[in-house]
């Protein structure tokens, strides 16, 4: 690949878990690293749902990418949108400039997939960015306001019906947080409505919630959701979404708020690579995570499809897998920069699965042992705080959790954004 006598130029597209893990593992390597991202911040995606449900502020789970790598003198950060990749010329074209590489790490992540119904996106936003989270938060909080103002009972119920499509960790966590808010946080704030009558529906096409988790976890999560009042619909398919509600099979449900947590598709940048993609559009990588025919290009994170050699299952599209892939590529780059031609295969280390459902309710499987309730909830909290980037964020998130735990309040109940700012007169 790169001429061993010069310093190889490593370009990393995407500052998510995979890209950042790669860059940080290369901190002391003799390479020139450029991280390209169209946002200035890394987002801790596992807690995005808490921004969407008014628990945390965006700044609590984000950090400027520049700040994270500021002490790595071998790394620069470019805020730009990648338009194209030219594997022949070894150039990445952004909206700002062309950037040459010797080694390319594609870590551009995924976005919501609507299975051919792209028009649903407008009615059912997904949850992949801070902007998505703030949009969902706004819609969720405004629904109560509209219900409070509504005089027609049917309209009121429609405003208080929330449908979450997809019962993976994000869907389960959103549903749990939303029903807690409706039943415990806001009831006394409203005069005309009983917010406890809000319906939170969780729709799943498969036969159980948390499909990637052990059966025992799924069963426990279903029990917890049911006790909390979430309406769970398993083996149900959403057949239509419009601005009045959803259709599930033949049943029509009037709902003002629909959230999409059902599936993702890889960044469309994968199409630039001229390699075979699998049915979901993911890049089928070689065992070393490079792409077929291009040992100098690696694909990592949510856009790569890696089959774990031990379990013959795909590596789950979650943060631990992404970070392990990023670090694996960094190891290869380092060893090649120091002249070693060996390229070990990627091995996924499954550290377990964790999901939270509500106050003191969570499910976990660690080293093959499944457990639930407070122990799982505490482990979930510890692990998530541990992996947040930066002391400030860890501290702030723990504080917000402690505050919410003691007071049953949510610190970030703000409706912001353009929908409200249709200013015909002064700000109040």
Catalytic sites, residue numbers: 173
Confirm or reject binding of residue 105 to its own copies (CB under 8 A): no
Confirm or reject binding of residue 130 to its own copies (CB under 8 A): yes
Confirm or reject binding of residue 60 to its own copies (CB under 8 A): yes
Evaluated on CA atoms 163, 166, 170, 172, the torsion sign reads positive
CA 295, 335, 316, 270: dihedral to nearest 10 degrees?
-30
Confirm or reject binding of residue 232 to its own copies (CB under 8 A): no
What b/e sequence results for 219-240 when a residue is b if at least 16 CB atoms lie within 10 Å of its CB, and e otherwise? bbbbebbeebebbbbeebebee
Confirm or reject binding of residue 5 to its own copies (CB under 8 A): no
Strand partners, 358: 361
Confirm or reject binding of residue 148 to its own copies (CB under 8 A): yes
Residue selected from 8, 16, 176, 326 as contacting its own copies according to rule CB under 8 A: 16
Instruction: Please count the other Cβ atoms lying within 10 Å of the Cβ belonging to residue 210.
Output: 24
Per the listing, tokens 């619909």 go with: 233
Residue with smaller CB distance to its own copies, 128 or 233 = 128
Confirm or reject binding of residue 83 to its own copies (CB under 8 A): yes
Give the whole-angstrom CA distance, residue 93 versus residue 217.
45
Confirm or reject binding of residue 402 to its own copies (CB under 8 A): no
Confirm or reject binding of residue 265 to its own copies (CB under 8 A): yes
Residue selected from 24, 41, 294, 328 as contacting its own copies according to rule CB under 8 A: 41
* Interface region with its own copies, contact rule CB under 8 A, candidates 142-150, 227-235, 324-332, 377-385: 142-150
Give the whole-angstrom CA distance, residue 381 versus residue 379.
5
Given a contact cutoff of 8 angstroms between Cβ atoms, the answer to whether 101 and 90 are in contact is yes
Q: Per the structure block, which two tokens stand in for 288? A: 């070393």
Q: Measuring CA to CA, how many Å separate 129 from each of 39, 48, 74, 136, 318? A: 10, 7, 28, 11, 15
Residue with smaller CB distance to its own copies, 126 or 361 = 126
Q: Please, where are the H alpha helices in 338-390?
A: 373-387
Give the whole-angstrom CA distance, residue 369 versus residue 77.
41
Confirm or reject binding of residue 415 to its own copies (CB under 8 A): yes
Confirm or reject binding of residue 40 to its own copies (CB under 8 A): yes
Residue with smaller CB distance to its own copies, 70 or 347 = 70
User: Could you tell me the smallest distance in angstroms from the CB atom of residue 192 to its own copies?
Assistant: 8
Residue with smaller CB distance to its own copies, 97 or 349 = 97
* Interface region with its own copies, contact rule CB under 8 A, candidates 129-137, 245-253, 324-332, 338-346: 129-137
Residue selected from 2, 8, 15, 178 as contacting its own copies according to rule CB under 8 A: 15
Q: Per the structure block, which two tokens stand in for 233? A: 């619909």
Residue 334 has φ and ψ, to the nearest 5°, of: -65, -45
Residues in the interface with its own copies (CB under 8 A) total 81
Give the whole-angstrom CA distance, residue 289 versus residue 21.
15
426 burial class (0-12, 13-18, 19+ CB within 10 angstroms)? Answer: exposed
Residues 183-202 that bind its own copies (CB under 8 A): 186, 188-192
Residues 302-321 that bind its own copies (CB under 8 A): 303
Residue with smaller CB distance to its own copies, 225 or 396 = 396
Confirm or reject binding of residue 279 to its own copies (CB under 8 A): no
Inter-axis angle of helices 17-25 and 319-337, nearest 10: 30
Confirm or reject binding of residue 399 to its own copies (CB under 8 A): yes
Confirm or reject binding of residue 352 to its own copies (CB under 8 A): no
Confirm or reject binding of residue 93 to its own copies (CB under 8 A): no
Confirm or reject binding of residue 406 to its own copies (CB under 8 A): no
Confirm or reject binding of residue 263 to its own copies (CB under 8 A): no
* Interface region with its own copies, contact rule CB under 8 A, candidates 21-29, 156-164, 245-253, 259-267: 259-267
Give the whole-angstrom CA distance, residue 111 versus residue 325.
19
Residue with smaller CB distance to its own copies, 39 or 208 = 39
Confirm or reject binding of residue 386 to its own copies (CB under 8 A): no
Given a contact cutoff of 8 angstroms between Cβ atoms, the answer to whether 85 and 268 are in contact is no
Of 269, 244, 253, nearest to 106 by C-alpha is: 269
Pairing of strands 161-165, 257-260: parallel
Residue selected from 62, 161, 324, 365 as contacting its own copies according to rule CB under 8 A: 62
Q: Between 167 and 186, how does the x/- string for binding to its own copies read (CB under 8 A)?
A: -------------------x
Give the whole-angstrom CA distance, residue 382 versus residue 96.
40
Q: Per the structure block, which two tokens stand in for 35? A: 């991280």
* Interface region with its own copies, contact rule CB under 8 A, candidates 33-41, 167-175, 249-257, 308-316: 33-41
Confirm or reject binding of residue 427 to its own copies (CB under 8 A): yes
Residue selected from 8, 109, 169, 321 as contacting its own copies according to rule CB under 8 A: 109
Give the whole-angstrom CA distance, residue 265 versus residue 205.
17
Confirm or reject binding of residue 392 to its own copies (CB under 8 A): yes
């Amino acid at each position: 690949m790169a001429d061993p006598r010069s310093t190889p130029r490593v370009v990393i597209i995407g500052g998510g878990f995979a890209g950042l893990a790669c860059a940080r593992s290369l901190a002391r390597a003799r390479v020139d690293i450029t991280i390209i991202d169209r946002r200035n911040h890394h987002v801790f995606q596992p807690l995005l749902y808490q921004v969407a449900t008014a628990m945390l502020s965006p700044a609590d789970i984000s950090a400027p990418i520049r700040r994270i790598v500021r002490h790595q003198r071998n790394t620069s950060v470019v805020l730009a949108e990648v338009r194209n990749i030219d594997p022949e010329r070894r150039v990445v074209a952004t909206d700002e400039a062309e950037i040459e590489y010797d080694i390319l790490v594609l870590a551009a992540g995924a976005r919501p997939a609507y299975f051919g119904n792209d028009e649903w996106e407008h009615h059912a936003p997904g949850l992949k960015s801070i902007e998505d989270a703030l949009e969902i938060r706004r819609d969720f909080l405004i629904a109560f306001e509209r219900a409070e103002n509504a005089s027609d009972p049917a309209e009121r119920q429609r405003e208080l019906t929330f449908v979450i499509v997809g019962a993976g960790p994000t869907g389960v966590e959103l549903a749990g947080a939303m029903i807690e808010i409706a039943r415990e946080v806001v009831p006394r704030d409203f005069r005309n409505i009983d917010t406890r009558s809000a319906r939170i529906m969780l729709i799943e096409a498969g036969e159980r919630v948390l499909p990637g988790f052990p059966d025992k976890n799924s069963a426990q999560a279903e029990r917890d959701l049911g006790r909390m009042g979430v309406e769970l619909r398993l083996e149900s398919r959403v057949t239509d979404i419009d601005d009045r509600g959803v259709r599930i099979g033949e049943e029509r449900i009037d709902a003002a708020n629909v959230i999409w947590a059902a599936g993702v598709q890889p960044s469309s940048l994968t199409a630039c690579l001229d390699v075979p993609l699998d049915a979901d559009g993911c890049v089928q990588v070689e065992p070393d995570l490079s792409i077929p025919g291009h040992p100098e290009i690696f694909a990592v994170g949510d856009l790569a499809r890696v089959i774990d050699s031990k379990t013959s299952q795909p590596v789950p599209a979650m943060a631990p897998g992404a970070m392990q892939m990023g670090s694996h590529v960094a190891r290869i780059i380092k060893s090649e920069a120091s002249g070693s031609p060996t390229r070990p295969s990627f091995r996924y280390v499954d550290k377990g699965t964790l999901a939270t459902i509500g106050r003191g309710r969570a499910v976990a499987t660690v080293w093959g042992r499944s457990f639930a309730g407070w122990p799982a909830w505490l482990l979930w909290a510890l692990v998530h705080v541990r992996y947040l980037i930066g002391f400030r964020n860890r501290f702030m998130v723990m504080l917000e959790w402690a505050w919410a735990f003691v007071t049953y309040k949510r610190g970030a109940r703000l409706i912001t954004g353009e929908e409200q700012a249709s200013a015909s007169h002064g700000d109040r």
